[in-house]
């Protein structure tokens, strides 16, 4: 997997100045982003800036898609990528929004947390576990078919032995009948 996939995303919706956040826009953009691939330019020497740039990219693109200005604010985003240097990168940012209400004094600022988490799909333990479990499943399946084949072979050998035993009993019974008849005729 060469690209980065957004596993899940959620937006803040109560950060708007007039409190008229349209939750349906956030829901629509959430459905748009989830499962979507994005290209990231990850800098290992400055991971915090790279993570913050991903959040800014998602917010700016969402604003462009909805024809809004500074409307969307990412709450949390989870990504799966192989472009990072660690198995898991997780960072929480704080964004302070101070609404400017026409010069009538300052309104109270609000602080919002933004969390981003990137899981490296190549270094992820779950991928190795999945491969291990798949290998074990295949091994058990092949052993089961071997056991079935051995069981069929054993049943065939058992049937052949039983037939041979029945034939031997018939021959022996015949021999004993002849011996018994001869002994009766000698008497």
d(CA 121, CA 82) in angstroms, rounded, equals: 5
The DSSP call for residue 106 is B
> Could you give the count of Cα atoms lying within 13 Å of 6 in the half-sphere of its Cβ?
23
Q: What are phi and psi of 64, to 5 degrees?
A: -65, -45
Tokens of residue 17, six digits = 């100045």
| CA triple 12-44-92, angle to 5 deg | 25
Which segments of the chain have a pLDDT < 70? 1-2, 15-23, 99-107, 124-128, 186-187
Residue with tokens 């997780």, as numbered in its chain: 90
Q: What is the pLDDT of residue 1?
A: 40
d(CA 162, CA 96) in angstroms, rounded, equals: 87
DSSP secondary structure letters along 46-101? -HHHHHHHHHHHHHHHHHHHTT-SS--EEEEEEEEESSSSSSEEEEEEEEEE--B-
> Could you give the count of Cα atoms lying within 13 Å of 127 in the half-sphere of its Cβ?
11
d(CA 52, CA 67) in angstroms, rounded, equals: 22
Q: What is the pLDDT of residue 69?
A: 85
Residue with tokens 């988490």, as numbered in its chain: 117
């Amino acid at each position: 997997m060469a690209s980065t996939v957004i596993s899940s995303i959620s937006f803040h919706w109560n950060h708007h100045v007039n409190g008229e956040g349209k939750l349906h826009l956030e829901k629509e953009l959430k459905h748009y982003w989830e499962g979507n691939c994005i290209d990231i330019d990850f800098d290992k020497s400055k991971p915090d800036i790279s993570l913050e740039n991903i959040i800014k990219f998602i917010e700016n693109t969402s604003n462009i898609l909805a024809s809004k200005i500074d409307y969307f604010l990412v709450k949390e985003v989870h990504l799966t990528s192989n472009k990072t240097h660690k198995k898991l990168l997780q960072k929480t940012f704080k964004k302070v929004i101070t609404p400017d209400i026409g010069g009538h004094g300052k309104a109270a600022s609000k602080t919002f947390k933004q969390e981003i988490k990137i899981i490296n799909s190549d270094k992820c333990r779950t991928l190795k576990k999945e491969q291990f479990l798949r290998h074990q499943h295949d091994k058990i399946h092949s052993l089961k078919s071997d056991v079935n084949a051995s069981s069929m072979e054993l049943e065939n050998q058992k049937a052949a032995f039983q037939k041979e035993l029945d034939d031997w009993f018939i021959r022996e019974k015949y021999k004993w009948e002849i011996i018994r008849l001869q002994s009766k005729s000698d008497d």
